[in-house]
A and B are shown apart, each in its own frame.
Chain A
């Protein structure tokens, strides 16, 4: 899969270096966590991996400091950031509220919210009606497929029990 790295100042891969710093922190956290393990079977593998990750990150950062090289593809992400954030919040909200509100309500609300976020054409009464009906049909259809045919215990919502 092609990645879309963002270049930093001075031709360095600033984003990559920041990510490496975060990875080093994660590796240190992992190493610290392994100190509580008593059995060597538990910590040998993760310690080795964490140490390797630190070495690779330091090597990458050192490489960038000594021989700066901007990433191959370097453009700011095109498109609307609020819509991106909205999508993630809608999905997270639906997941978080599912145990209380139930699958169907959360599904319909999330579907409607994401539909609004992904809409780039003008809303007409006809379009609104058709899209809303399709949205409800998709949510209810999947509910029946999973809950009734595949017997997945989808949350009903504690508020309604």
Chain B
């Protein structure tokens, strides 16, 4: 275990203040739809230039971890992922809030985020150099299979109508192809429109598909946004702790998944959350309740996406390859500070790196009280504010949040259009989640597939390229498990019941 002196360095009053301030600022920014963790870190980078490198890293790490957690608020209370990492949080978080358990969902999300953040930081502290090699072992074909693994969630999200789920996913995959093709630079599906050249921005699409339908239905009736059936119950911390302890293996498994996915450059918190959610659902005895407000779903996603913070720092610091987009911003800030990342960083600049890692632990722990208080306030605001105030405020936030991503009015119009399309499709039985899955995973799947295909064709070994690499085979095995395990298990349970009856 690296030096105790670095822990003391991290615990200076200035660093504690920076960690707390960073977590609070990140949580608030992350909770606003459209403002991502990348933006939160990027905006506050200039503030760090006058600081010591370790303190700067602590502040940026705290903002990053707070922003990832903050995304859960909008996901749970408004059905809008505040950040892309919180997509899967909407699956169970919003149903929980709708039935009157929004306060519990927010507290569960906070506990899960802290658990995930701590596991990610622990991996960063203890196993960073060996784990960094995982990032290098992942080639295009592994990314392709990882995206396919994410797409297997469609069966879980289709609610009894797999064909509609598959059609929705195809629609999302086609939407992901709009604009300039990444590899060949051909212009696709723009039909001469300049507006579509930049493609469909993922966060805008998320806001449109998830939030606009909610607003459209909110404005149409005088009913309350969320069901409030009970008197105020505080944080519901004891209840949330009991649930967390009951599902500790889910938390641990999801955190490890989040860390490992975070290590993969470009994968990010959204994929980590989706993969962890898929695994949690597969393993859980209550899998049929997933999507209807199952606390395990919220725990899986939130622990995984916060674990990507520590995981993403592993290739960033050891290899100089940013694991996630906010890591790229932090890497740039480090270079400006004169810190050269690389395999020798942990030995040559140990005081900076280990002070930062302990600072990340500190920020994650401080997220517990800060997150609980902010979450409680967010929940109370959403349930008590009059509808005539809530609807325009949220609508306004979607407008400004979407605009700010690329400073584009076109993105705002696309967002609203997708929202209307999503609402209509919802009316005829098409859930937005498979569309979103296709949209997010489409780009990763296509890029991985085309690159792997090109390499395989050039080496005249297409089969070996797609089915002959150990990591690929491992992911394919998980895909098969994810698809067929429910069938096998149902048959096995049926046989057991028959034997018991006999």
Contact = CB atoms under 8 A, between A and B. Distances in A.
A96 B399 CA distance: 11
Contacts of A135: 392
Contacts of A27: 170, 174
A1 B396 contact: no
Interface string B295-337: 0000000000000000000000000000000000000000000
Contact of A95 (B39, B412, B446): B412
B160 A72 contact: yes
Contact of A111 (B94, B171, B173, B396): B396
B499 interface: no
B3 interface: no
Interface of B is mostly: helix
Question: What's the interface size class on B, roughly?
Answer: 35 or more
Contacts of A5: 427-429
Contacts of A56: 163, 166-167, 170
B396 A142 contact: yes
A111 B398 CA distance: 12
B197 interface: no
B159 A115 contact: no
Interface string A46-61: 1001101100110110
A42 B186 contact: yes
Contacts of A71: 428-429
A37 B386 CA distance: 52
A144 to B, nearest CB: 12
Interface in A17-41: 18-20, 23, 26-27, 30, 33-34, 37-39, 41
B216 interface: yes
A19 B177 CA distance: 21
B248 interface: no
Given A96-B413, A149-B43, A4 B427 contact: yes
B215 interface: yes
B220 interface: yes
Contact of A110 (B186, B217, B396): B396
Nearest to B394: A114
Contacts of A146: 400, 404
A151 interface: yes
B455 interface: no
Which 8 pairs across A and B sit closest by C-beta, in order of nearness? A79-B220, A5-B429, A15-B428, A53-B170, A42-B186, A120-B222, A39-B184, A118-B391
19 contacts: A1-B95, A2-B292, A4-B429, A46-B189, A53-B170, A56-B166, A71-B428, A72-B160, A77-B217, A80-B219, A80-B220, A81-B220, A87-B215, A95-B413, A118-B391, A119-B388, A120-B388, A121-B386, A150-B43
